[in-house]
Every structure is written in structure tokens, then in C-alpha cells.
Structure 1
């Protein structure tokens, strides 16, 4: 059933392309015919065309009628050409939307074991990595919304894994660069900074023990919050 549907879609697309190619060829033939029949008009600048047509109407009305008929036919072809371009663009947009929907669903299956927090952190890391490479978020989103390769589930998973790896490396760097614990006098209440350092040490120890990305994300987010 799927193969039959794909073949039918292919037939429709081939027929559409053949029709569009036919319109292009007809437009080129009409332009060549006009030049061959009225070479004196073909080379005129646009501002002198009304004067030439007025002179033709006075000297050879039948010739002017032929000019008008060819121009009218060309305008009809151009209108059909523009309409076909609009229809093709709309069909392409619908096809991409259907493709994107199917690939997004496939990606959900590939990432079904990933938690929401991890997904969000990895997505942010992907955007940050792209920006560091000179790709603004708006441009990355435009590519994501228009390029089939970017929306392919396997390609998205590759980007996800790369972002996940970068995030893990940042978290490990944070563990390696953790400050020495401050000395606290007996009997004194811990300050907010002391509590933050304790939390970071706890998260660092947990990450060192588990190596889990969820713990890496928690540590990275805590480090970011502590710098504010």
C-alpha cells in the first residue's frame, strides 16, 4: 500500500514537472516568435515603446493587431506560469510538513528514554554550539523548518548525541575545576554561598559516582545558577 501510494505521488509530481516545463518552453517560443516577427520593437527601450506602437497603429493597423495578440498570449502564459509556481510551492510546503511530522514522531521513538530536563539541556547546548560556530538561532530554526536533512530523525539524533557529549564534557570540566570547600567555624550557621558550595560538591560526587547525564545536567545547571 505504501509503495503504491509513493508511486502515485511520484506520477503526480512528474506530471506537474512536465506541465511546468511545457509552460517554460511555450514562453520561450513566444518570446522568440515576437523577436523574429517584430525585430524593430524587440530592441527598443521601454520608454519608446508607446511611441512605436502609436506609429504602427497609424501605418499598419493589422501589424499592431498581431503584436497585441502575441502580447496577450504571452501574458496568459505568464499568468499560468505564476500560478503553477504558486501551486508547486504550496505542494512542496505540504510535503515538507508531512515529512517533518513523520520524522519528528520517529525521533520521539529514538529519544523515548530521555528525560525532559535532559532534552531541554541538550537542545540549549545544540543552539549554543551552533551560535559559537557562527549560526544564529534564527538561521538554525529556518534550516530546521525548510531543509529535509535537518529534519531527518537520524540526523537530529546525531545532533542530539553531539550536544549530549558536549554537555557531559562541560559538566566534567566543572567537576575538575570545583573550588576547595571553605573552612567553617564551629557553631556558625552556613551562609547561602556555603550551602551552594555544599550542593555543588554533592552533585559533583554524585556525577563522579554515576557518570549519568542527568547528574551532569543537574551539576551544570547548578554551576550556572551559582555564577548569577
Structure 2
């Protein structure tokens, strides 16, 4: 039993070290420039440990995104307002967009990591049921919209838009807001440490969307 607990503790420590090393590398490099070997060296573990734990670079990026996004999801569901329940939709949307920018600003390129990892992975000739297999044989969605983190961010954003302005196409507007975070100019801006500038611009966009319509 003691040996089993020690193994679990070692596995948890390795996981934290690998994710921390990946995050440090993402602060200096684009996702497609990072190899599993680099992560292993930075984490102080064997390359086989990284592959065994995460399967592939895509699997590693997914795990890192989920790890960093989980706390935000909890805050939205049960945290204090305005990020959590209890505030008006426009205040919650502003707080949520600020929180997303904080996540991607502290983990530069993380939001785009899934898309970069997918496009950088070898794509075989065959496709089946709208998917393909990437590095290490893992499932790679054809659209980053398929990722659960993006689905949550988009679903919450569109729900808040609809709550304040049911006359608007909240689903599409949410894609436009979140999609801007994955553009090359915005990624370069984050790499320069200008996350506050991005947050301010998103707040302006959100305020314009949710402003009361002019009387007809």
C-alpha cells in the first residue's frame, strides 16, 4: 500500500512537472515549435514518461488547456459574482472575457495550441467520420470547436449574450469574440505582453454588442 501511494505521488509530481515545463516553453515558443523531447528535458523526466502520460503533443496540449481552464469553469459555476452567478449578464460577460484573456495571457499561445498541434501533426490520406489521427495516433478533431474547453467558453459567452440581447445571434457573436483570440495579430500581441490592451478591446466589443437597441 505504501509503495502504491508512493507511485501515485510520483506520477502526480511528474504530471505537474511536465505541464509546468510545457507552459514555460509555450511562453517562449509557438506550440508547433515544441517537441516532446524538449518537454521531457525541461521537466527532468524521460521522454517515455511524457509519451506514456500524454500520448502525443496534441494530448499534452489538451491536458494543459484543460488544467488551466478547469479553475475558470469552477469560478463561473459557483464562484462569487461578477464571474460567478448573481451579476447582470453584461457584467458577467465582461468578467468572463477578462478571465479568458488572463488565462491565455499567462499561457501565451495556449488557446491556439490545439489548432497548431492539429495542423502540425502528420495528416494521413484517409479520413473517417469527420476525424483523423495525429501524432501518436490520437484523435484530432477537424475543428477546434470540438474541444470541450472551447465548447464551454463558447456556450457560456453565447448564453450571456442571449440573456441580455435575445434579439441577437448570440451563437455567432460568441464565435466572433472567441475566434479573435486565435488570430495571428492577437497572438503576437499576447507574445509582446499586451494582454491588458486585448482585454480592453474585448470589453469595448462586448459593450457595443450588449447595448440596448435604439428605439425604432
TM-score, structure 2 as length reference:
0.25
TM-score, structure 1 as length reference:
0.24
Q: Which has the higher contact order (CA 8 A, sep 6+)?
A: 2
More helix by share: 1
Higher Rg: 1
